[in-house]
Structure 1
Amino acid sequence: MNFPATRLRRLRRTEAMRSLVRETHLHPSALVYPLFLCPGEGVRKEITSMPGVFNLSVDEALKEAEECAALGIGGLLLFGLPAEKDEQASGAWADDGIVQTAVRAMKRNRKLDSLLQITDVCVCEYTSHGHCGIVTRDGDHFEVENDSSVALLAKTAASQAAAGADIVAPSDMMDGRVAAIREALDAGGFHQTPILSYASKFSSAFYGPFREAADSAPQFGDRRGYQMDGANMREAMREIEQDVAEGADMLMMKPAMPYLDVIRAARERFDLPMGAYQVSGEYAMLHAAFERGWLEPERAMMESLLSIRRAGADFIVTYFAKDAAKVLG
């Protein structure tokens, strides 16, 4: 480069100039807002570790959904908190389960036609022990059985699709669950329902606040026996390859900010639509800094989302979705 002929600052001088040459863009339709659904009516219980996020009864969730639709947000990711839990996670696949009930209500509301209903396919919120499948125990040793758990997940996905879910999103990390879910969906006549697979979901400390929100903390042990080791990039690529081979239509990377390198590697290797989940701990961490005046809220929020988009995510699941959509206009 020959100075002063090359002056890179020329294209940074004004907001209009910066906007014209900006490489990475955010827009509300690429944001997905998670909702935590609970039984009852008129319930709006704030989650202490996640300011501005609530456990919501279906009637209150409909109000949130209408606001999201009006803001141009692309979709909702629905999690359920059942009235009762058991070892078979029966609330996850019941026809009158909390997620199924909410999906049906949202589909009846024409104001929500632009809003995709994405349902979480996992059973940790529904099991009495808090693990993501069927558990066997022998003294202090326990095992989350893979194949029997996969059968429950497939049953859950088919139930959610029957209720009207636009997309089903398995987040359990059991082996073979994408193929089983695809088979169950097709057998039920839901050939057009896409699978958004959490293809590389890492065992992470950043899930802590979510476990309060979804009341899903394991009652014993942890999930490192099925969620991925955060040290393993090559294994993540193998997990994604397997899910693609089994019929995944879309990919989800989770968490986002601590694993931007994994998002980038996946983007360079795979052509499927790919989302990333800015998880509860990322949101809570930023809010703690906001409350102390250590970070400027709007700038930090938007910068965090841009980093995920720049790494290669086509869409972002984030608790900031409404706030970011308001900024984006």
Structure 2
Amino acid sequence: MSFPVVRHRRLRRNAAMRNLVRETYVTVHDLIYPLFVTEGTNVKTEIGSMPGVYQFSLDRLEEEIREVVAAGLQAIMLFGIPDEKDAVGSQGYDHNGIVQQATRKVKEWAPELLVIADTCLCEYTDHGHCGVIHHHPQTGEAEIVNDASLELLARTAVSQAEAGADIIAPSNMMDGFVQAIRAGLDEAGYQHIPIMSYSVKYSSAFYGPFREAANSAPQFGDRKSYQMDPANVREAMREAESDVQEGADMLMVKPGMAYMDVVRMLKEHYDLPLAVYNVSGEYSMVKAAARNGWIDERAIVLELLTGFKRAGADMIITYHAKDAAGWLKS
């Protein structure tokens, strides 16, 4: 009895052959680097739960931007940490808000670097929620007021575009947020500014370290009423479809590692560019394990990034971006 020879195994014999037949590649151009900007002077504060990630004041930001450009990265995402917060997140849409100031500075230092502005209110509200809060007059129970929040989010997007943001990335998950922001941008003359929608954003335990980084933890309750249940996948399609119909130019899945099936599903159903957010908790787990000597950080990160690309992501937002850019060159 004879058996067929499985000749394709010869393709795995050496590195050159494997490189020749490799199906999925990650390049530095796939990566988007999140940055946290804060008010004050001479601030470069490492975030305790995110080793290697810092909060920068504007006077220390230029050095980081120079390193980002030297690494070959082409895009950053800005998150702001204001000194003063209020119930409606007014610093988010202030002409001189911290993200607006940072955007103007980055465009002065590195005009070719794409600036993506996270568009949400949670970093700017004193209650830490992503929209306007209303307290029921009888029960005192707090709830998000969706439509009032949309108006402020549209104002935030317009102010970010005025400051020079190249892409608006709304992360708030209010109903109708893409339509409201698109209308606001168009009316203000920013029809050319694309929207990268956080279309599929799960209510995830992986966000913990970010809330330290952005000082944005909810002061009461949680965000489950406007973020998705991690158990749901059909809902992801409904959320994405809604954003496509409302005018989104790019879609996003957040987090990444536990949701690669969702990334693949969106890739197969939509022809818009697709981003995945490799979030803070995912980053922190890798860093902690690497610092304990349990894993090879470089190998793990590159394998994760490859997994995101293989699943269908066109862009990867990751705190590993600067390190990965160097590893990809070596």
Q: Is the 8 A contact 2:43 2:55 kept in 1?
A: yes
Q: Is the 8 A contact 1:80 1:214 kept in 2?
A: yes
* Shift >4 Å, 4+ stretches: none
CA RMSD of aligned residues (A): 1.1
Question: What is residue 185 of structure 2 aligned with on the other side?
Answer: 185
Q: CA deviation at 1:91?
A: 0.4
What letter is aligned with 2:84? E
Q: Distance in 1 between matches of 2:140 and 2:24?
A: 50
Q: Is the 8 A contact 1:69 1:114 kept in 2?
A: no
Q: CA deviation at 1:61?
A: 2.0
Structure 2: state its 5+ residue gaps.
none
Question: What is residue 171 of structure 1 aligned with on the other side?
Answer: 171
Q: Is the 8 A contact 2:81 2:215 kept in 1?
A: yes
Q: Is the 8 A contact 2:169 2:198 kept in 1?
A: yes
Q: Is the 8 A contact 1:37 1:57 kept in 2?
A: yes
Question: What is residue 268 of structure 2 aligned with on the other side?
Answer: 268
Q: Is the 8 A contact 1:202 1:230 kept in 2?
A: yes
Which deviates the most, 113-122 or 205-214?
113-122
Structure 2 CA distance for partners of 1:91 and 1:7, relative to 1, 3 Å = same
Question: What is residue 22 of structure 1 aligned with on the other side?
Answer: 22
Q: CA deviation at 1:162?
A: 0.3
Q: CA deviation at 1:268?
A: 0.5
TM-score, normalised relative to structure 1? 0.97
1:277-296: CA deviation from partner (whole Å, max 9, x where unpaired) = 00000000111111111111
Question: What is residue 112 of structure 2 aligned with on the other side?
Answer: 114
Q: Distance in 2 between matches of 1:275 and 1:309?
A: 10
Q: CA deviation at 1:6?
A: 1.9
1:244-263: CA deviation from partner (whole Å, max 9, x where unpaired) = 00000001110001100100
Question: What is residue 123 of structure 2 aligned with on the other side?
Answer: 125
Structure 2 CA distance for partners of 1:113 and 1:13, relative to 1, 3 Å = farther
TM-score, normalised relative to structure 2? 0.97
Q: Is the 8 A contact 2:274 2:313 kept in 1?
A: yes
What letter is aligned with 2:263? I
Question: What is residue 202 of structure 2 aligned with on the other side?
Answer: 202
Q: CA deviation at 1:140?
A: 5.5
Q: Distance in 1 between matches of 2:199 and 2:164?
A: 23
User: Structure 2 matches for 1:152-167, cutoff 5 A?
Assistant: 152-167=152-167
Give aligned pairs, total.
326
Q: Distance in 1 between matches of 2:53 and 2:324?
A: 14
Question: What is residue 144 of structure 1 aligned with on the other side?
Answer: 144
Q: Distance in 1 between matches of 2:70 and 2:259?
A: 31
Q: Is the 8 A contact 1:167 1:194 kept in 2?
A: yes
User: Structure 2 matches for 1:1-329, cutoff 5 A?
Assistant: 3=3, 5-109=5-109, 112-138=110-136, 139=139, 141-329=141-329
Structure 1: state its 5+ residue gaps.
none
Q: CA deviation at 1:4?
A: 5.4
SS in 1 for 2:52: coil
Q: Distance in 1 between matches of 2:185 and 2:3?
A: 62
1:42-61: CA deviation from partner (whole Å, max 9, x where unpaired) = 21000000000001111222
Q: Is the 8 A contact 1:35 1:61 kept in 2?
A: no
